[in-house]
Amino acid sequence: MTDPGDFNSKVIAEFRDNDGKVGGNFEGANLLLLHHTGARSGTERVSPLAYQQVGNGYAIFASKAGAPVHPAWYHNLVANPETTIEVGGSKIKVRARVADDAERDPIWEKQKVNAPQFAGYEEKAAGVRKIPVVVLDPIN
């Protein structure tokens, strides 16, 4: 089995080498790099994530491929909401917030159209959890 950290490292390197463009399963997808600090460990981490442009911000999805628990980065952002993302060749300071249902639902529905695998994640998580949408608002 492939180490997920090794997989992410390869995606991150390709992203940075190509101004945010990657191939393979992610070719053509909107992908950003999320910097986050461990809620308990304080360790700095970087995670490649699908995103959707929302106004001047970015929406990311705590899907964890439909797993019954939220991804670690979600808990890290709740604990430490001010962070940095990399989009294309730019680094942007952002503040994370969990979208309420009124904001979340249209963003989520659009994501299922843009990337149909998200509908499968929703189906897999059904009855266990509602997948959160996190909005990253740029800050100065």
Spans of all domains in the chain: 4-138
Which pLDDT value is given to residue 3? 57
| pLDDT per residue as tens digits for the range 51-76 | 999 999 999 999 999 999 999 999 99
Per DSSP, the three-state class of 35 is strand
Q: Residues 63, 118: contact at Cβ < 8 Å?
A: yes
Cα 77 from Cα 37, distance rounded (Å): 8
pTM exceeds 0.75, yes or no: yes
| pLDDT per residue as tens digits for the range 118-140 | 999 999 999 999 999 999 999 98
Query: Helix 117-125 crosses helix 101-114 at what angle (to 10 degrees)?
Result: 130
| pLDDT per residue as tens digits for the range 68-122 | 999 999 999 999 999 999 999 999 999 999 999 999 999 999 999 999 999 999 9
Q: Residues 133, 59: contact at Cβ < 8 Å?
A: yes
What topology does CATH give the domain 4-138? Pnp Oxidase; Chain A (2.30.110)
